[in-house]
Amino acid sequence: MTIFEEVKELVSVPAVARYYGIDVRRGNMCLCPFHNERTPSMKLYEKNYYCFGCKAHGDVINLVQEIFRMSAIRAVKRINNDFSLGLDIDKPPEREDIERINRQRQELEEYQQWEKHSYKVLNDYLWLMRDYAEKYALHNPDDIPDKRFIYSQNHISYAEYLANEFLLADKETKLSMKGEIEQIEQEMLRIK
């Protein structure tokens, strides 16, 4: 979570408005500090404000920015101090966080490549089985079956099952098929 998100999470718009002197009335309505008016037309919600008169709107940080005419980061610092939030504003993102994010990104890329490759292996295997079944099909009862035909008959259901299973499986299940897929890759090199 960024420092901005943390501030927005920790303080409400009505509480901050009240603290900085805005007279919050019934229904969380108040006189708009951004235009002159006699009857309240600004509505304060928990996380936002909206003026029905001048259309001013924003979140709690915008509100403080507008009241004091300051930058967002200074508004965050001011809220942090005034509300004793104890946030460490000047802290740069931690190295561990950066490393963790980079590592996760790299792992994801590696997984996606593996997934793509595995899907291709299983599909190639399935098509090889279909190919063998068709190309070496028996035409006469007396034909001596080619060993590739026999192989296809023994493995085509398995190949279909694996290809479908992999397509529909979640990440964990796919990874659990890793050994089987590697074996099939070896097997294809052997039989081709």
User: Where do contacts with Zn ion occur on this chain (CB under 5 A)?
Assistant: 32, 34-35, 51, 53-54, 56
User: Between 32 and 162, whose beta carbon lies closer to Zn ion?
Assistant: 32
User: Between 3 and 56, whose beta carbon lies closer to Zn ion?
Assistant: 56
Distance in Å, CB of 51 to Zn ion, minimum = 3
Q: Is 4:58 a contact under the CB 8 Å cutoff?
A: no
Sheet containing strand 29-30, edge to edge, reads 29-30, 42-44, 48-51, 57-59
Distance in Å, CB of 50 to Zn ion, minimum = 9
Distance in Å, CB of 86 to Zn ion, minimum = 33
User: Between 35 and 74, whose beta carbon lies closer to Zn ion?
Assistant: 35
User: Between 44 and 121, whose beta carbon lies closer to Zn ion?
Assistant: 44
How many whole angstroms separate alpha carbon 71 and alpha carbon 77? 10
- CB neighbour class for 104 (10 Å; exposed up to 12, middle 13-18, buried from 19): exposed
Q: Is 56:35 a contact under the CB 8 Å cutoff?
A: yes
Read off the tokens for 14: 């009505």
Q: Is 4:72 a contact under the CB 8 Å cutoff?
A: yes
Distance in Å, CB of 7 to Zn ion, minimum = 23
